[in-house]
Structure 1
Amino acid sequence: MSRPMTERLDALRTRFSDTLHAVRGTAGTEPGHPAPDPAPYAENLLKRWAEPQRRYHTVAHLTAVLDHIDVLASHADDPDLVRLGAWFHDAVYLPDRSENEERSARLAERALAEAGLSASAVAEVARLVRLTVTHDPAPDDRNGQVLCDADLAILASDPAAYAAYTAAVRDEYGFVPDDAFRTGRARILAQLLALPRLFHTPYAATEWEARARANLEKELAQLTRGLA
Protein backbone atom coordinates (compact mmCIF):
# COMPACT_ATOMS: atom_id res chain seq x y z
CA MET A 1 0.00 0.00 0.00
CA SER A 2 1.36 3.41 -0.93
CA ARG A 3 2.28 5.89 1.77
CA PRO A 4 -0.38 8.43 0.71
CA MET A 5 -3.08 5.74 0.94
CA THR A 6 -1.79 4.58 4.33
CA GLU A 7 -1.89 8.16 5.58
CA ARG A 8 -5.39 8.65 4.17
CA LEU A 9 -6.66 5.52 5.93
CA ASP A 10 -4.98 6.51 9.19
CA ALA A 11 -6.67 9.90 8.98
CA LEU A 12 -10.04 8.22 8.43
CA ARG A 13 -9.48 5.93 11.41
CA THR A 14 -8.81 8.99 13.55
CA ARG A 15 -11.90 10.76 12.23
CA PHE A 16 -14.10 7.77 13.02
CA SER A 17 -12.65 7.37 16.51
CA ASP A 18 -13.04 11.07 17.31
CA THR A 19 -16.63 11.06 16.07
CA LEU A 20 -17.60 7.94 17.98
CA HIS A 21 -16.05 9.30 21.18
CA ALA A 22 -17.86 12.62 20.71
CA VAL A 23 -21.26 10.95 20.25
CA ARG A 24 -20.70 8.43 23.01
CA GLY A 25 -19.58 11.05 25.50
CA THR A 26 -18.95 9.65 28.96
CA ALA A 27 -20.94 6.46 28.38
CA GLY A 28 -18.93 3.39 29.23
CA THR A 29 -16.26 5.27 31.16
CA GLU A 30 -17.26 3.81 34.51
CA PRO A 31 -14.57 1.67 36.17
CA GLY A 32 -14.97 -1.93 35.12
CA HIS A 33 -17.26 -1.02 32.23
CA PRO A 34 -15.04 0.33 29.46
CA ALA A 35 -16.63 1.35 26.20
CA PRO A 36 -15.64 -0.75 23.18
CA ASP A 37 -12.55 0.35 21.27
CA PRO A 38 -13.57 2.26 18.10
CA ALA A 39 -10.71 0.74 16.08
CA PRO A 40 -12.34 -2.59 15.10
CA TYR A 41 -15.46 -0.76 13.92
CA ALA A 42 -13.40 1.61 11.80
CA GLU A 43 -11.47 -1.31 10.30
CA ASN A 44 -14.66 -3.18 9.43
CA LEU A 45 -16.12 -0.12 7.73
CA LEU A 46 -12.93 0.69 5.80
CA LYS A 47 -12.73 -2.91 4.61
CA ARG A 48 -16.29 -2.61 3.32
CA TRP A 49 -15.57 0.68 1.55
CA ALA A 50 -12.58 -0.97 -0.19
CA GLU A 51 -14.49 -3.93 -1.66
CA PRO A 52 -13.53 -4.78 -5.26
CA GLN A 53 -16.99 -4.25 -6.80
CA ARG A 54 -16.81 -0.54 -5.94
CA ARG A 55 -15.64 2.04 -8.45
CA TYR A 56 -17.37 5.21 -7.26
CA HIS A 57 -18.65 4.22 -3.80
CA THR A 58 -15.11 3.94 -2.44
CA VAL A 59 -12.99 5.33 0.38
CA ALA A 60 -12.53 8.42 -1.79
CA HIS A 61 -16.31 8.97 -1.86
CA LEU A 62 -16.54 8.44 1.90
CA THR A 63 -13.78 10.99 2.44
CA ALA A 64 -15.45 13.50 0.12
CA VAL A 65 -18.80 13.16 1.92
CA LEU A 66 -17.13 13.65 5.30
CA ASP A 67 -15.30 16.71 3.97
CA HIS A 68 -18.53 18.18 2.64
CA ILE A 69 -20.24 17.55 5.97
CA ASP A 70 -17.48 19.59 7.58
CA VAL A 71 -18.34 22.46 5.22
CA LEU A 72 -22.06 22.21 6.06
CA ALA A 73 -21.72 21.24 9.73
CA SER A 74 -23.05 24.51 11.15
CA HIS A 75 -26.45 23.75 9.61
CA ALA A 76 -26.82 20.36 11.32
CA ASP A 77 -28.49 19.86 14.69
CA ASP A 78 -25.93 17.15 15.49
CA PRO A 79 -23.09 17.04 12.95
CA ASP A 80 -21.39 14.05 14.59
CA LEU A 81 -24.46 11.90 14.07
CA VAL A 82 -24.47 13.07 10.45
CA ARG A 83 -20.82 12.02 10.17
CA LEU A 84 -21.68 8.55 11.45
CA GLY A 85 -24.49 8.47 8.91
CA ALA A 86 -21.89 9.12 6.21
CA TRP A 87 -19.71 6.26 7.44
CA PHE A 88 -22.60 3.82 7.22
CA HIS A 89 -24.63 5.18 4.29
CA ASP A 90 -23.03 2.91 1.67
CA ALA A 91 -21.31 0.48 4.01
CA VAL A 92 -23.25 -2.30 2.31
CA TYR A 93 -23.01 -1.83 -1.44
CA LEU A 94 -23.67 -4.31 -4.22
CA PRO A 95 -24.52 -2.60 -7.53
CA ASP A 96 -26.95 -5.34 -8.56
CA ARG A 97 -29.01 -5.08 -5.35
CA SER A 98 -31.74 -2.61 -4.47
CA GLU A 99 -31.70 -2.96 -0.67
CA ASN A 100 -28.24 -1.54 0.02
CA GLU A 101 -29.44 1.39 2.11
CA GLU A 102 -31.68 -0.79 4.26
CA ARG A 103 -28.91 -3.30 4.85
CA SER A 104 -26.51 -0.45 5.64
CA ALA A 105 -28.99 0.98 8.16
CA ARG A 106 -29.35 -2.39 9.85
CA LEU A 107 -25.57 -2.69 10.05
CA ALA A 108 -25.47 0.72 11.73
CA GLU A 109 -28.12 -0.35 14.22
CA ARG A 110 -26.17 -3.45 15.21
CA ALA A 111 -22.67 -1.96 15.24
CA LEU A 112 -23.42 1.33 16.95
CA ALA A 113 -25.54 -0.24 19.67
CA GLU A 114 -22.66 -2.64 20.36
CA ALA A 115 -20.20 0.27 20.29
CA GLY A 116 -22.01 1.94 23.17
CA LEU A 117 -24.19 4.61 21.59
CA SER A 118 -27.54 5.48 23.10
CA ALA A 119 -30.69 4.09 21.53
CA SER A 120 -31.71 7.55 20.32
CA ALA A 121 -28.33 8.14 18.65
CA VAL A 122 -28.43 4.75 16.95
CA ALA A 123 -31.95 5.40 15.69
CA GLU A 124 -30.97 8.79 14.26
CA VAL A 125 -27.97 7.41 12.38
CA ALA A 126 -30.06 4.58 10.94
CA ARG A 127 -32.76 7.06 9.92
CA LEU A 128 -30.19 9.19 8.12
CA VAL A 129 -28.82 6.18 6.25
CA ARG A 130 -32.32 5.22 5.09
CA LEU A 131 -32.91 8.81 3.96
CA THR A 132 -30.24 8.39 1.27
CA VAL A 133 -32.68 6.23 -0.67
CA THR A 134 -34.60 9.34 -1.72
CA HIS A 135 -32.33 12.28 -0.74
CA ASP A 136 -35.55 14.09 0.13
CA PRO A 137 -35.26 15.44 3.69
CA ALA A 138 -38.13 17.29 5.34
CA PRO A 139 -37.93 21.11 5.57
CA ASP A 140 -37.09 20.90 9.28
CA ASP A 141 -34.70 17.93 9.01
CA ARG A 142 -31.40 19.75 9.34
CA ASN A 143 -29.34 16.59 9.91
CA GLY A 144 -30.91 14.95 6.88
CA GLN A 145 -30.35 18.02 4.74
CA VAL A 146 -26.64 18.04 5.53
CA LEU A 147 -26.11 14.35 4.79
CA CYS A 148 -28.11 14.44 1.56
CA ASP A 149 -26.37 17.58 0.32
CA ALA A 150 -22.94 16.17 1.17
CA ASP A 151 -23.74 12.90 -0.60
CA LEU A 152 -24.89 14.69 -3.77
CA ALA A 153 -22.14 17.32 -3.78
CA ILE A 154 -20.31 15.38 -6.53
CA LEU A 155 -23.03 16.58 -8.92
CA ALA A 156 -21.65 20.10 -8.58
CA SER A 157 -18.02 19.20 -9.28
CA ASP A 158 -15.88 20.62 -12.07
CA PRO A 159 -16.13 19.03 -15.53
CA ALA A 160 -13.12 16.71 -15.12
CA ALA A 161 -14.26 15.42 -11.73
CA TYR A 162 -17.82 15.01 -12.97
CA ALA A 163 -16.60 13.02 -15.97
CA ALA A 164 -14.55 10.79 -13.64
CA TYR A 165 -17.64 10.29 -11.46
CA THR A 166 -19.85 9.25 -14.37
CA ALA A 167 -17.16 6.90 -15.68
CA ALA A 168 -16.83 5.28 -12.26
CA VAL A 169 -20.58 4.82 -11.98
CA ARG A 170 -20.61 3.17 -15.41
CA ASP A 171 -17.82 0.84 -14.29
CA GLU A 172 -19.81 -0.18 -11.22
CA TYR A 173 -22.66 -1.17 -13.52
CA GLY A 174 -20.42 -2.88 -16.05
CA PHE A 175 -22.73 -5.91 -16.01
CA VAL A 176 -25.55 -3.79 -17.53
CA PRO A 177 -25.66 -3.54 -21.37
CA ASP A 178 -24.99 -0.08 -22.79
CA ASP A 179 -28.51 0.66 -24.04
CA ALA A 180 -30.10 -0.45 -20.79
CA PHE A 181 -27.62 1.60 -18.76
CA ARG A 182 -28.20 4.74 -20.82
CA THR A 183 -31.96 4.36 -20.50
CA GLY A 184 -31.81 3.83 -16.74
CA ARG A 185 -29.29 6.58 -16.14
CA ALA A 186 -31.28 9.04 -18.27
CA ARG A 187 -34.37 8.26 -16.21
CA ILE A 188 -32.50 8.98 -12.97
CA LEU A 189 -31.11 12.26 -14.29
CA ALA A 190 -34.53 13.38 -15.48
CA GLN A 191 -35.98 12.63 -12.06
CA LEU A 192 -33.25 14.66 -10.39
CA LEU A 193 -33.75 17.60 -12.73
CA ALA A 194 -37.49 17.51 -12.06
CA LEU A 195 -36.94 18.13 -8.35
CA PRO A 196 -37.66 21.70 -7.26
CA ARG A 197 -34.22 21.75 -5.62
CA LEU A 198 -31.28 19.37 -5.48
CA PHE A 199 -29.76 20.89 -2.35
CA HIS A 200 -31.39 21.94 0.89
CA THR A 201 -28.80 23.71 3.05
CA PRO A 202 -28.33 27.44 2.39
CA TYR A 203 -24.67 27.07 1.44
CA ALA A 204 -25.22 24.18 -0.98
CA ALA A 205 -28.29 25.77 -2.52
CA THR A 206 -26.26 28.90 -3.24
CA GLU A 207 -22.92 27.39 -4.21
CA TRP A 208 -23.77 24.03 -5.80
CA GLU A 209 -27.29 24.05 -7.25
CA ALA A 210 -26.69 25.81 -10.58
CA ARG A 211 -23.48 23.95 -11.37
CA ALA A 212 -25.05 20.60 -10.51
CA ARG A 213 -28.03 21.23 -12.78
CA ALA A 214 -25.71 22.22 -15.61
CA ASN A 215 -23.75 18.97 -15.20
CA LEU A 216 -26.93 16.89 -15.10
CA GLU A 217 -28.40 18.60 -18.15
CA LYS A 218 -25.20 18.09 -20.14
CA GLU A 219 -24.98 14.40 -19.22
CA LEU A 220 -28.65 13.86 -19.99
CA ALA A 221 -28.24 15.46 -23.42
CA GLN A 222 -25.31 13.17 -24.14
CA LEU A 223 -27.25 10.10 -23.06
CA THR A 224 -30.27 11.12 -25.09
CA ARG A 225 -28.15 11.46 -28.22
CA GLY A 226 -26.84 7.98 -27.56
CA LEU A 227 -30.38 6.63 -27.37
CA ALA A 228 -31.53 8.33 -30.58
Structure 2
Amino acid sequence: MTPVSRTADTTDPAPELHRRWAATVAEARGSRKPAAPGGAPAPDPAPYADNLLSRWSEPHRRYHTVDHLAAVLDRIDELADHADDLAVVQLAAWFHDAVYRPDRSENEERSAALAERALPELGIGAARTAEVARLVRLTVTHDPAPDDPDGEVLCDADLAVLAGSPDQYAAYAAAVRTEYAFVPDPAFTTGRSAVLRQLLALPRLFRTPMGYDLWEHTARRNLTTELDLLGGA
Protein backbone atom coordinates (compact mmCIF):
# COMPACT_ATOMS: atom_id res chain seq x y z
CA MET A 1 0.00 0.00 0.00
CA THR A 2 1.52 3.31 -1.08
CA PRO A 3 0.98 6.06 1.49
CA VAL A 4 -0.33 9.38 0.25
CA SER A 5 2.32 12.06 0.62
CA ARG A 6 1.68 14.58 3.40
CA THR A 7 2.79 18.15 2.82
CA ALA A 8 2.90 21.13 5.14
CA ASP A 9 0.01 22.85 3.38
CA THR A 10 -2.29 19.82 3.32
CA THR A 11 -5.43 20.41 5.32
CA ASP A 12 -6.46 17.29 7.17
CA PRO A 13 -10.18 16.78 6.36
CA ALA A 14 -10.79 14.34 9.19
CA PRO A 15 -8.59 15.00 12.23
CA GLU A 16 -10.68 12.85 14.53
CA LEU A 17 -10.40 9.88 12.18
CA HIS A 18 -6.66 10.42 11.97
CA ARG A 19 -6.47 10.40 15.77
CA ARG A 20 -8.51 7.24 15.99
CA TRP A 21 -6.43 5.53 13.31
CA ALA A 22 -3.18 6.35 15.10
CA ALA A 23 -4.54 5.04 18.40
CA THR A 24 -5.78 1.84 16.79
CA VAL A 25 -2.48 1.16 15.03
CA ALA A 26 -0.59 1.74 18.27
CA GLU A 27 -2.88 -0.67 20.11
CA ALA A 28 -2.61 -3.28 17.35
CA ARG A 29 1.17 -3.10 17.44
CA GLY A 30 0.93 -3.86 21.14
CA SER A 31 4.20 -4.75 22.83
CA ARG A 32 5.90 -5.51 19.53
CA LYS A 33 8.75 -3.17 18.66
CA PRO A 34 7.31 -1.23 15.72
CA ALA A 35 9.23 -2.52 12.74
CA ALA A 36 8.50 -3.08 9.10
CA PRO A 37 9.61 -6.21 7.23
CA GLY A 38 13.40 -6.38 7.11
CA GLY A 39 13.85 -4.71 10.50
CA ALA A 40 13.43 -1.09 9.39
CA PRO A 41 11.44 1.18 11.69
CA ALA A 42 7.72 0.99 10.96
CA PRO A 43 6.44 4.00 9.05
CA ASP A 44 4.35 6.81 10.45
CA PRO A 45 0.73 5.57 10.34
CA ALA A 46 -0.63 8.99 9.34
CA PRO A 47 0.04 8.70 5.57
CA TYR A 48 -1.76 5.35 5.61
CA ALA A 49 -4.79 7.10 7.06
CA ASP A 50 -4.52 9.64 4.23
CA ASN A 51 -4.47 6.82 1.70
CA LEU A 52 -7.48 5.09 3.23
CA LEU A 53 -9.49 8.29 3.61
CA SER A 54 -8.72 9.15 0.00
CA ARG A 55 -10.18 5.81 -1.01
CA TRP A 56 -13.26 6.35 1.14
CA SER A 57 -13.69 9.79 -0.50
CA GLU A 58 -13.73 8.63 -4.14
CA PRO A 59 -16.28 10.59 -6.18
CA HIS A 60 -18.30 7.58 -7.28
CA ARG A 61 -19.23 6.77 -3.67
CA ARG A 62 -22.50 7.95 -2.22
CA TYR A 63 -23.09 5.57 0.67
CA HIS A 64 -19.71 3.85 1.15
CA THR A 65 -18.11 7.11 2.21
CA VAL A 66 -16.06 8.54 5.07
CA ASP A 67 -19.35 9.13 6.87
CA HIS A 68 -20.08 5.40 6.71
CA LEU A 69 -16.61 4.59 8.00
CA ALA A 70 -17.07 6.98 10.94
CA ALA A 71 -20.51 5.55 11.69
CA VAL A 72 -19.19 1.97 11.73
CA LEU A 73 -16.37 2.98 14.07
CA ASP A 74 -18.89 4.66 16.37
CA ARG A 75 -21.06 1.54 16.47
CA ILE A 76 -17.99 -0.58 17.20
CA ASP A 77 -17.34 1.68 20.17
CA GLU A 78 -20.87 0.96 21.42
CA LEU A 79 -20.31 -2.80 21.07
CA ALA A 80 -16.72 -2.79 22.33
CA ASP A 81 -17.36 -4.93 25.40
CA HIS A 82 -18.38 -7.84 23.16
CA ALA A 83 -15.13 -7.88 21.16
CA ASP A 84 -12.18 -10.15 21.88
CA ASP A 85 -9.66 -7.90 20.09
CA LEU A 86 -11.11 -4.44 19.67
CA ALA A 87 -8.14 -3.05 17.73
CA VAL A 88 -8.48 -5.80 15.13
CA VAL A 89 -12.18 -5.04 14.68
CA GLN A 90 -11.43 -1.34 14.31
CA LEU A 91 -8.76 -2.01 11.69
CA ALA A 92 -11.18 -4.25 9.82
CA ALA A 93 -13.67 -1.38 9.77
CA TRP A 94 -11.09 0.90 8.15
CA PHE A 95 -10.38 -1.65 5.43
CA HIS A 96 -13.77 -3.30 4.89
CA ASP A 97 -14.82 -1.03 2.00
CA ALA A 98 -11.45 0.54 1.27
CA VAL A 99 -11.70 -0.87 -2.23
CA TYR A 100 -15.17 -0.24 -3.55
CA ARG A 101 -16.48 -0.23 -7.09
CA PRO A 102 -20.22 -0.86 -7.38
CA ASP A 103 -19.73 -2.59 -10.73
CA ARG A 104 -17.32 -5.17 -9.26
CA SER A 105 -17.95 -8.26 -7.14
CA GLU A 106 -14.49 -8.67 -5.63
CA ASN A 107 -14.44 -5.53 -3.47
CA GLU A 108 -14.15 -7.36 -0.15
CA GLU A 109 -11.40 -9.62 -1.43
CA ARG A 110 -9.42 -6.68 -2.76
CA SER A 111 -9.97 -4.75 0.46
CA ALA A 112 -8.71 -7.72 2.48
CA ALA A 113 -5.67 -8.00 0.23
CA LEU A 114 -4.96 -4.31 0.80
CA ALA A 115 -4.96 -4.91 4.56
CA GLU A 116 -2.64 -7.88 4.10
CA ARG A 117 -0.16 -5.60 2.34
CA ALA A 118 -0.47 -2.50 4.53
CA LEU A 119 -0.59 -3.86 8.06
CA PRO A 120 2.77 -5.69 8.03
CA GLU A 121 4.34 -2.48 6.72
CA LEU A 122 2.93 -0.75 9.79
CA GLY A 123 4.55 -3.25 12.13
CA ILE A 124 1.40 -5.20 12.93
CA GLY A 125 1.96 -8.91 13.50
CA ALA A 126 0.97 -11.73 11.19
CA ALA A 127 -1.80 -13.11 13.40
CA ARG A 128 -3.59 -9.80 13.73
CA THR A 129 -3.11 -9.02 10.05
CA ALA A 130 -4.67 -12.35 9.11
CA GLU A 131 -7.58 -11.73 11.48
CA VAL A 132 -8.25 -8.28 10.01
CA ALA A 133 -8.32 -9.76 6.52
CA ARG A 134 -10.66 -12.56 7.66
CA LEU A 135 -13.06 -10.05 9.16
CA VAL A 136 -13.05 -7.93 5.99
CA ARG A 137 -13.92 -11.02 3.94
CA LEU A 138 -16.72 -11.83 6.39
CA THR A 139 -18.59 -8.70 5.32
CA VAL A 140 -19.48 -10.49 2.09
CA THR A 141 -22.14 -12.47 3.98
CA HIS A 142 -22.52 -10.67 7.34
CA ASP A 143 -23.03 -14.14 8.79
CA PRO A 144 -20.44 -14.73 11.52
CA ALA A 145 -20.23 -18.01 13.40
CA PRO A 146 -21.64 -18.13 16.96
CA ASP A 147 -18.11 -18.38 18.38
CA ASP A 148 -16.83 -15.32 16.51
CA PRO A 149 -17.40 -12.27 18.74
CA ASP A 150 -15.13 -10.01 16.67
CA GLY A 151 -17.02 -10.97 13.52
CA GLU A 152 -20.29 -10.31 15.31
CA VAL A 153 -19.18 -6.82 16.35
CA LEU A 154 -17.97 -5.84 12.88
CA CYS A 155 -21.03 -7.18 11.08
CA ASP A 156 -23.44 -5.61 13.58
CA ALA A 157 -21.69 -2.26 13.28
CA ASP A 158 -21.76 -2.42 9.48
CA LEU A 159 -25.48 -3.28 9.40
CA ALA A 160 -26.55 -0.77 12.05
CA VAL A 161 -27.47 1.69 9.28
CA LEU A 162 -30.48 -0.55 8.62
CA ALA A 163 -31.97 0.53 11.95
CA GLY A 164 -32.12 4.25 11.24
CA SER A 165 -35.20 6.42 11.51
CA PRO A 166 -37.50 6.37 8.46
CA ASP A 167 -35.79 9.49 7.09
CA GLN A 168 -32.31 8.13 7.76
CA TYR A 169 -33.14 4.82 6.15
CA ALA A 170 -34.66 6.55 3.12
CA ALA A 171 -31.46 8.59 2.72
CA TYR A 172 -29.38 5.40 2.98
CA ALA A 173 -31.49 3.61 0.36
CA ALA A 174 -31.32 6.63 -1.95
CA ALA A 175 -27.54 6.78 -1.61
CA VAL A 176 -27.25 3.10 -2.49
CA ARG A 177 -29.42 3.66 -5.56
CA THR A 178 -27.23 6.59 -6.62
CA GLU A 179 -24.10 4.44 -6.37
CA TYR A 180 -25.80 2.03 -8.76
CA ALA A 181 -27.15 4.71 -11.09
CA PHE A 182 -25.59 2.88 -14.04
CA VAL A 183 -27.98 -0.06 -13.46
CA PRO A 184 -31.40 0.23 -15.14
CA ASP A 185 -34.37 0.36 -12.79
CA PRO A 186 -35.73 -3.15 -13.50
CA ALA A 187 -32.36 -4.79 -12.93
CA PHE A 188 -31.70 -2.74 -9.81
CA THR A 189 -35.10 -3.60 -8.37
CA THR A 190 -34.48 -7.30 -8.94
CA GLY A 191 -30.99 -7.23 -7.45
CA ARG A 192 -31.86 -5.02 -4.50
CA SER A 193 -34.92 -7.11 -3.68
CA ALA A 194 -32.74 -10.22 -3.62
CA VAL A 195 -30.35 -8.55 -1.17
CA LEU A 196 -33.21 -7.50 1.09
CA ARG A 197 -34.69 -10.99 1.08
CA GLN A 198 -31.29 -12.48 1.88
CA LEU A 199 -30.96 -10.19 4.89
CA LEU A 200 -34.50 -10.83 6.08
CA ALA A 201 -33.91 -14.60 5.81
CA LEU A 202 -31.11 -14.46 8.39
CA PRO A 203 -32.27 -15.82 11.76
CA ARG A 204 -30.82 -12.67 13.32
CA LEU A 205 -29.53 -9.58 11.59
CA PHE A 206 -27.58 -8.61 14.71
CA ARG A 207 -25.60 -11.18 16.65
CA THR A 208 -24.38 -9.23 19.65
CA PRO A 209 -26.90 -8.98 22.51
CA MET A 210 -26.73 -5.17 22.48
CA GLY A 211 -27.02 -4.94 18.70
CA TYR A 212 -30.02 -7.24 18.71
CA ASP A 213 -31.77 -5.31 21.44
CA LEU A 214 -31.05 -1.91 19.89
CA TRP A 215 -31.50 -2.52 16.19
CA GLU A 216 -33.16 -5.82 15.20
CA HIS A 217 -36.82 -4.83 15.24
CA THR A 218 -36.33 -1.46 13.54
CA ALA A 219 -34.00 -2.88 10.90
CA ARG A 220 -36.44 -5.62 9.94
CA ARG A 221 -39.24 -3.08 9.69
CA ASN A 222 -37.13 -0.86 7.43
CA LEU A 223 -36.05 -3.74 5.21
CA THR A 224 -39.61 -4.98 4.86
CA THR A 225 -40.84 -1.49 4.02
CA GLU A 226 -38.20 -1.05 1.32
CA LEU A 227 -39.00 -4.47 -0.13
CA ASP A 228 -42.69 -3.53 -0.23
CA LEU A 229 -41.89 -0.26 -1.98
CA LEU A 230 -39.87 -2.16 -4.56
CA GLY A 231 -42.83 -4.43 -5.18
CA GLY A 232 -40.82 -7.45 -4.06
CA ALA A 233 -42.68 -8.62 -0.96
TM-score (norm 1): 0.93
1:14 pairs, out of 12, 19, 28, with: 19
Change (3 A) 1:29 1:139: closer
1:147 pairs, out of 154, 174, 191, with: 154
Match for residue 3 of structure 1? Answer: none
The code of the aligned residue for 2:16 comes to A
* Match runs of 1:45-56 below 5 Å: 45-56=52-63
Instruction: Report SS of the residue matched to 2:217.
Output: helix
Contact 1:27 1:35 in 2 (8 A): no
1:197-224 Cα distance to aligned partner (Å, 9 max, x none): 1000000111100000000000000001
Instruction: Note the C-alpha offset of 1:27.
Output: 2.5
1:127 pairs, out of 128, 134, 138, with: 134
Paired with 1:147 and 1:75, the residues of 2 have a C-alpha distance of 10
1:67-97 Cα distance to aligned partner (Å, 9 max, x none): 0000001000011100000000000000000
1:14-51 Cα distance to aligned partner (Å, 9 max, x none): 10000000110232358x95322101110100000000
Paired with 2:88 and 2:114, the residues of 1 have a C-alpha distance of 15
Instruction: Note the C-alpha offset of 1:8.
Output: 6.1
> Hey, which bits of structure 1, 4+ residues long, moved more than 3 A?
none
Contact 1:155 1:215 in 2 (8 A): yes
* Match runs of 1:11-160 below 5 Å: 11-29=16-34, 33-160=40-167
Q: How many residues align?
A: 220
Instruction: Report SS of the residue matched to 2:207.
Output: coil
Instruction: Note the C-alpha offset of 1:52.
Output: 0.7
Instruction: Note the C-alpha offset of 1:7.
Output: 7.4
More helix by share: 1
Paired with 2:31 and 2:204, the residues of 1 have a C-alpha distance of 40
1:90-116 Cα distance to aligned partner (Å, 9 max, x none): 000000000000000000000001111
The code of the aligned residue for 2:29 comes to R
Paired with 2:40 and 2:202, the residues of 1 have a C-alpha distance of 49
Paired with 2:199 and 2:34, the residues of 1 have a C-alpha distance of 46
Instruction: Report SS of the residue matched to 1:26.
Output: coil
Instruction: Note the C-alpha offset of 1:177.
Output: 0.3
Instruction: Report SS of the residue matched to 2:136.
Output: helix
Paired with 1:29 and 1:122, the residues of 2 have a C-alpha distance of 14
Contact 2:34 2:122 in 1 (8 A): no
1:131-162 Cα distance to aligned partner (Å, 9 max, x none): 00000000010000000000000000111110
Contact 2:42 2:121 in 1 (8 A): no
Instruction: Report SS of the residue matched to 1:116.
Output: coil
Paired with 2:92 and 2:129, the residues of 1 have a C-alpha distance of 10
Identity %: 65
TM-score (norm 2): 0.91
Paired with 1:8 and 1:19, the residues of 2 have a C-alpha distance of 19
Unaligned runs of 5+ in 1: 1-5
Instruction: Report SS of the residue matched to 1:224.
Output: coil
Match for residue 167 of structure 1? Answer: 174
